[in-house]
Amino acid sequence: MFDRLAGFAGRRARRIVIAAVVLAVVAGAIGSGVAKRLGPYSAKDPASESIKATNRLTKATGLDQEQVVALVRLRAPAGSPQGRAQIAQVARKLTSDRAIGRVVTPFTPSGSARMISRDGRLAFATAYLKNSVDAPKAVDRLKRLLAHTPDVRLGGSAAASRAANRIVSEDLKRAELLAFPLLFLLALWFFRSLVSAALPPLVGGLAIVISFLTLRGVSEVMHLSVFALNLVTGLGLGLAIDYSLFIVSRYREEMAKAGPGRAALAATLRTAGRTVLFSSLTVAAALASLLVFPQRFLYSMGVGGTIVALIAAAVALLVLPAILALLGERVNALAPKRLHRAADADARPAAAGAWYRLSRFVMRRPGRIAIVTAAIMLTLGLPFLGAKFTTVDATVLPRAEQAHRVDEALQTRFTPNLTSPVTVVARTRDAGAVRAFAQRLQRVRGVRAVNPLQPVGPGLWRIDAVPASRALSGASQRLVHRIRALHAPFARGVTGQSANFVDQKTSLASHMPVALGLLAITTLLILFAMTGSVVLPIKALVMNALTLSAAFGVLVFIFQDGRLEGLLGYSSQGALDSSQPLVLFAVAFGLSTDYGVFLLSRIKEARDRGASDSEAVAIGLERTGRIVTAAALLFCVAIGAFATSRIVFIKELGVGTAAAVAIDATLVRALLVPSLMELLGRANWWAPRPLRRLHARLGLREGDAPPAVAVSGSRA
C-alpha cells in the first residue's frame, strides 16, 4: 500500500502539488465564511424535560425564549413622567425591529416593579425574539438602533451568544497570527533548514483550510457550533505539524542512507507514513466518541476533530510526499552555514545518544521509576477530586463586554435571578388548579418570589419562580429537583437556566459510559492492528488515564481555584465548564495515543529487525525522543495559543490540552513507557494465538527491513 502511494506521489508529484494549490485557493475562498454558518454554544439535550417544555412555550407564543435585555440608566426616578418616558422610548425602539415579538418593561401588564433596581437608578426591559429569526443579525441591528440612545446597554442570553461568536472569530485570527511565526521559528530550530522548516506550517495551513471547507459542507446538513473552529484550527495545525515532523525527519534519515529518490520516499511511507495513518485513526476515533452526545457543542467538536485529524493525515501522506519528491536533496536547502553540519548530523541520528542513555538509566531501575512517576501524576490529578462544574453564561465573556456588565448589574443591583427563573409550563384548562400550584410553589424552600401567572395558549400556562440563589448554583439545582417532585394535578414541565443545567449534567452522565466504551474499544482495536499485541493497547489506556488525571488536576488548580488570573487574563467562575472535561478527554486521549504510536512504531521496527526487547526500547526512544519533544513543543504552541482567548472555556481547552501533551511527552514517554516496557519484557508483545494469526492475515506489518545494526557510540 505505502509503496504504491510513494510511487504515485513520485510519478505525479507536480500534478499533486498543483491540485493542492488549487484546492487551497478554492477552500480558502469558500471555507473562510464558515463561521457565519455556524451556531452558538449549546449544551442542551433536545430530549430533556427542560427543552421539551421550552419548545412548548415557543410553539404556543411564537417567541424564542432567548432574551435581549436592555439595561437603562435612568435620568429621573422610574415612576416620574420623565423616567417612564425614557423607558418607553427604549421599548419603542426595541419593538420597532421586525425580529422582536414582545417587550416587557416595569410598566407593562406582565412586568414587575422588581425590574427597577433597588436604588432606583436603573431599570431594564426584556425583548423576546420571534421564533426562527436570525438572532445574531437581530442583536446587531438592535445594537445599531440603540447606539445613539444614551445610557442603554444590551445584554441577555441572545446578546451574550452573539458576543461569544464574535469573540471566537477574532480570537481565532489572533491565535493564528501568534502561532504561525512561532511555529516556523521552532521548526527552523528543529530542522536547521529554512525549506524543511517551512513544510510543517505549510501542511498545517492546507489541512485547516480544507477542514473549513469540509465543515462548510457539513453545516448544510447539521447544526454545528462555531466553537468547533477553535478545535479545528488548534488540532489541525498541531497534528499536521506532528505528522510533517515525523515524515520529513524520516525522509531526511532515509535520504542520508540511500540518497534522494523513490527508495527513500517508499521507506519513509512504509515506516513514518504507516505510523501517521494509525495515529490519525486513533485521534479521529477519540474525537468521534463525542458524536454520541446530543449536545451541539460536543458533537460539533467531534465532527470538527474527526474531520481535521483525517484531513491532516491525508495531506501529510499525499501532498507532503509529492513536495518531498520534487525537492529531493533541496529539502535541506537554505540552511545557515552554522546549522548545516547540525542538520546533516540530525539526518544520521546517534545510535547511543542522550535519549538512549536515558532509557538505559530508566530500565536499570524500572520499578522505582514507574512507581515515582505514577505517584507524581496521581498527585497532579488530586485537585480534580474536588472539581466543580458550571455551564456557559455571560460570565464567560470578558468583563469589558456589554453582556457581561449587564449580567453583573442584574445580579447585584436588582433582585437577583429575575431574568433566569425556574419556569413551570403547566398544561391544563383548570385555572384554579394552576393558581393553587403557584401558591404552593411560593412556599418551596429556595424560591424568592413567584411572578404573576401567564396564560400563553389554550390550556397552557407559564409560572416563573425566581430562585433565591444564582441560577447555576447548587442551591438552584436542588430547587429544580424539589419543584419537579412537587405534586400537581396536571401535566407540566420544568425549564429555565437552572433546569437546563440539571438536565445537561444528567444527559452528559448518561451518555458518558457509551462514549468511553467506544473510545476504549476503538483504541484497543487500532493499536492491536498496529502492534499485534493485546498488552500494549491495554497499557496505553492505563497511561492515558494517568495523563488525563494529571491534566484535569492542573485545570482545577488553575481555573477553578482562580490561580494565574492576571497572567492568563481571566476571572475564575469557581468551577469548570461541564463539557470541557469531555472535550479535553477526547482530545488529550487521542494525542496521548498519538505520541505512543510514534514511539511504539520505532520500538516495534527495531524489534522486528532483531533487537532484544530492552535494546528495541532504547533504540525506539533514541530515534523518537528529540522528534516527539519537538512535536510536543510545537503542538503546545499551536493549541496553547488558545490560552490567549478571551472566552474562559476556550482558555481551559488550550491550557488543558497543552498540559496533557507536555505531561505525556515528558513523564510518560521518557520515564513511564521504558520502565513498564522493561518490567513486562516479552509479555509486552503477547497476544492469544488466534489473534496473532488474525494480525498476520491482516497484513498490517511494515515491509521487510534490513537487520538491526549493533548499537555503538558512533553515528549510523
Domains (range + CATH), the chain: 1-32+192-346 (1.20.1640.10), 62-162 (3.30.70.1430), 349-385+537-681 (1.20.1640), 421-495 (3.30.70)
3-class DSSP assignment, residue 388: coil
Which is higher by pLDDT, 17 or 258?
17
Rounded mean pLDDT of 665-675?
Answer: 92
pLDDT at 713 over 70: no
Residue-by-residue DSSP string for 395-417 = GGS-TTSHHHHHHHHHHHTSSTT
Distance of CA 14 to the CA centre of its chain: 36
3-class DSSP assignment, residue 703: coil
Return the closest-CA partner of residue 442 out of 452, 451, 450.
Answer: 450
For 72-114, the pLDDT digits (tens) are 999 999 889 999 999 999 999 999 999 999 999 999 988 888 9
For 527-568, the pLDDT digits (tens) are 898 888 999 999 999 999 999 999 999 999 999 999 988 888
Q: Residue 699's pLDDT is what?
A: 59
For 475-491, the pLDDT digits (tens) are 999 999 999 999 999 99
pLDDT at 663 over 70: yes
For 669, counting Cβ atoms within 10 Å of its Cβ (0-12 exposed, 13-18 middle, 19+ buried), the class is buried
Distance CA 499, CA 481 (A): 9
Residue 525: DSSP 8-state: H
Going by pLDDT thresholds of 50, 70 and 90, the confidence category of residue 708 is very low
pLDDT at 665 over 50: yes
Place of cell 495515529: 279
* Per-residue cell: 198: 517551512
Going by pLDDT thresholds of 50, 70 and 90, the confidence category of residue 421 is very high
The lowest-confidence range among 183-197, 554-568, 651-665 is 183-197
Rounded mean pLDDT of 266-274?
Answer: 88
Going by pLDDT thresholds of 50, 70 and 90, the confidence category of residue 705 is very low
Average of per-residue pLDDT values in the chain? 88
Going by pLDDT thresholds of 50, 70 and 90, the confidence category of residue 709 is very low
**Residues in Cβ contact with 125 at an 8 Å cutoff, skipping those fewer than 6 apart:** 69, 70, 72, 87, 90, 91, 94, 103, 104, 105, 115
Which is higher by pLDDT, 556 or 699?
556
Rounded mean pLDDT of 707-714?
Answer: 38
pTM: 0.84
Q: Residue 165's pLDDT is what?
A: 83
Distance CA 540, CA 563 (A): 32
Rounded mean pLDDT of 581-604?
Answer: 86
pLDDT at 343 over 80: no
For 123-159, the pLDDT digits (tens) are 999 999 998 888 888 999 999 999 888 799 999 999 9
DSSP H helical segments within 259-365, as ranges?
262-268, 274-288, 296-314, 320-327, 337-346, 354-364
Q: Residue 39's pLDDT is what?
A: 80
Residue 709: DSSP 8-state: P
Percent of the chain with pLDDT over 90: 51
